[in-house]
Amino acid sequence: MRANYREGDSYTDRLFQWLKYDEKLPILLDHKIKPRVYKVNVDGMPKILKGYTRSQILLHQIEFFKSWENAGTIAAQPVPFKENIYTKSKLGCEWGLFEWVDGRHGRFENKNDRQSAIQVLKEFHDQTKGIDVLSVPKDPLYIKWEKRLEQFSATRDVFVDYGKYRLYKELDTFMKKRLESFSRHPWGELEEKAWEQKEWLHGDVAHHNFLIDDSGRIKLIDFDLLHRGPHLYDDIQMGQRFLPHVEHRPDDLFKGFKYVEERKIWLKGLLVPADILREWLYGYRRCLRGEGTFAYYLRRTEKSWAGRQKFVRFTENMLR
C-alpha cells in the first residue's frame, strides 16, 4: 500500500535526478514511504532507500551487519549501491540501501504474531551476542523513562484545562512509584555484564518493525536504535508493546516470556506505565501540529489507564 505523500516534491526530484544523472545508478522511485524513506527499484528489484542526517547511525549498522553472519535469515540487511560502496552523501543526508521485505507488519493483537515476534527477537539476541563492533553508550532504560516522565509532567496543564487532573495525578503518582522501584535494581552491574558479553539490543521492538510474509516467515527491520545493552531491556519493551492486547489475560503474556531469567525485574518493568505516557506524548505532539484534538487523546489515555488496572493488581500480587 502506498503512503499518502506527495510524490513530486522538489527534494525527491533532486535526489533521484542526482542518483540517475550524476551517480549513474539504476535506482528508480517506486513511492515515498515517509520523509527520507523511499521504496525503489534497483535493476528491477525492490529495495528501501533511506537517508540519515546523522551518518554514524547508518555507518554503525553497516559495520554491525558485516559481522553478523546469519543476518539475512531474520533481518533486512543493508545492501551496496555498487560493489563495496554502501553509502552516498547528498542533500544533507547519508543514504543507504536496504533489503525490501515483502509482507505485512506484525499484529500484536494476534497471538501467533506475538509468538513469532518473541521468537525472532530471541534469535536476534542469540545470534548477535559477541559481535565486536563499537557501540555508542545509551542511557539505561530507567533514565529514558525518567526523561519521559519529565515530558509528561510538562503537559499537566492540558489535563487541568480539560478537567482530567485526576487522571494526570494517578498516572504521575503511579509512574513515580513504579519507576522508583524499578530503578533500585543494580543496573550498573547488569549494564557492565552486557557490555563485557557484547549483548546487542534492537531498541525499537514496535509491531511495525516486524514484517511477516505469506508463508509466516518473520523478519526484523529498522535497526536505527541498535546498541549494546542488557537483553532484558528489549524483553521489557516487547512485553509493554503486548500489554494493551493481553492485559486482561496476563498468563498469555507470561507464558511467552518464560525464557527471561531476571523474572522479577522484568515484571517490575512491565508495571511502569511508560508505554501509556509514550502514546499520550505522541498524541500531544500531533495536537500541537494541528493533527488531532487533545480531547481525543485524553480519552484514549484514560481508556488505556483504566484497562491497565487489572494487570497492575494481578502483577503487584505476584511480586508480594
Angstrom distance (rounded) from CA 260 to CA 262: 6
The one-letter amino acid code at 313 reads R
Residue 136 is predicted with a pLDDT of 86
Q: What is the pLDDT of residue 8?
A: 52
pLDDT one-digit tens code per residue, 17-53 = 999 999 999 999 999 999 999 999 999 999 999 999 9
CA dist 125 and 129 (Å) reads: 6
CA dist., res. 195 & res. 135, Å (int): 10
Closest by CA to 57, choosing from 93, 90, 81, 16, is: 93
Provide the 10 A C-beta neighbour count for residue 118.
19
Examine the pLDDT at 205 and tell me if it is beyond 80.
yes
CA dihedral 60, 61, 67, 71 (to 10 degrees): 170
Whether the predicted pLDDT of 279 surpasses 60: yes
**CA nearest to 139, candidates 228, 257, 65:** 228
| Backbone torsions φ then ψ of 5, nearest 5 degrees | -125, 150
CA–CA separation, 216 and 197 (whole Å):
32
pLDDT tens per residue, range 128-140 = 999 999 998 899 9
Average predicted confidence (pLDDT) for the chain? 95
CA-to-CA separations, 57 to 34, 93, 138, 224, 243, in angstroms, rounded: 18, 11, 13, 6, 30
Q: Which residue has the cell 511467552?
A: 256
Report the pLDDT averaged over residues 253-280: 96
235 with 258: CB under 8 angstroms? no
Q: Tell me, what's the pLDDT at 320?
A: 85
pLDDT at 94 over 90: yes
pLDDT at 224 over 90: yes
> From its phi and psi, is residue 103 left (phi > 0), alpha (psi between -120 and 50) or beta?
left
CA-derived radius of gyration, the chain: 21
Is the per-residue pLDDT at 1 higher than 60? no
For residues 80-95, give the mean pLDDT. Answer: 97
Q: Which residues pair with 104 in a beta bridge?
A: 212
Please give the model's pTM, rounded to 2 decimal places.
Answer: 0.93
Average pLDDT over residues 103-124: 97
Long-range contacts of 12-18 (CB under 8 A, 24+ apart): 12/38, 14/91, 15/90, 15/91, 18/90, 18/91
Cβ neighbours of residue 133 under 8 Å, at least 6 residues apart? 60, 63, 64, 67
pLDDT at 109: 97
pLDDT given for residue 112 in this prediction: 95
| Number of H-type helices and E-type strands within the chain | 13, 11
Is residue 216 within 8 A of residue 279, CB to CB? The reply is no
Higher pLDDT pick, 4 / 179:
179
Above 60 in pLDDT, residue 256?
yes
User: Rounded to the nearest 5 degrees, what angle is found at the Cα of 282, between the Cα atoms of 276 and 283?
Assistant: 95
pLDDT of residue 9: 81
On the question of pLDDT at 2 being above 50, the answer is: no
All structural domains of the chain: 10-100 (3.30.200.20), 111-319 (3.90.1200.10)
What phi, psi does 33 have (nearest 5°)? -90, -50
d(CA 225, CA 202): 6
Q: Above 50 in pLDDT, residue 315?
A: yes
